[in-house]
Amino acid sequence: MTKAELVEEVARAAELTKKDSEVIVDEVFKNIIQSLNRGEKIELRGFGSFRVRKRDARRGRNPKTGDPVDIPAKRVPYFKPGKELKELINDKVEEQAAG
């Protein structure tokens, strides 16, 4: 699903204009990004949690030349699905396998 498709679904489900639903979706994304930048964990009960993990500096290789390359430490976003989301996904897979 793309962002545009998400905006359309929100507009349809909430009976909003596409413009209004786009503002809502953009605001949600903006707040998630701002919270992660502050180092906060975001928990959406029944869905999952977002957090930032630190990746340590490491030594890698340039795939073209094979030369060693120093890769600096960085922070990366991480999503951990919640128990309910996992169950919903697995129930759907089981239904498809049975049907």
What CATH number should be reported for the domain holding residue 75? 4.10.520.10
Tell me what the mean pLDDT of segment 51-67 comes to: 96
Tell me what the mean pLDDT of segment 15-20 comes to: 97
Clarify whether residues 45 and 20 are in a common domain.
no
Q: What percent of the chain has pLDDT over 70?
A: 93
Predicted confidence (pLDDT) at residue 98 exceeds the cutoff of 90: no
Among the listed residues 20, 32, 46, the one whose alpha carbon sits nearest the alpha carbon of residue 78: 32
Give the predicted TM-score (pTM) of the model. Answer: 0.76
Tell me what the mean pLDDT of segment 74-78 comes to: 97
Predicted confidence (pLDDT) at residue 72 exceeds the cutoff of 80: yes
What was the pLDDT predicted at 91? Answer: 85
User: What residue numbers bound the domain in which 23 lies?
Assistant: 1-39
Enter the tokens of residue 32.
Answer: 């998630």
Helices (H), 1-99: 3-14, 18-37, 83-98
Clarify whether residues 34 and 82 are in a common domain.
no
How many domains is the chain built from?
Answer: 2
Clarify whether residues 35 and 45 are in a common domain.
no
For the chain, give the mean pLDDT.
Answer: 94
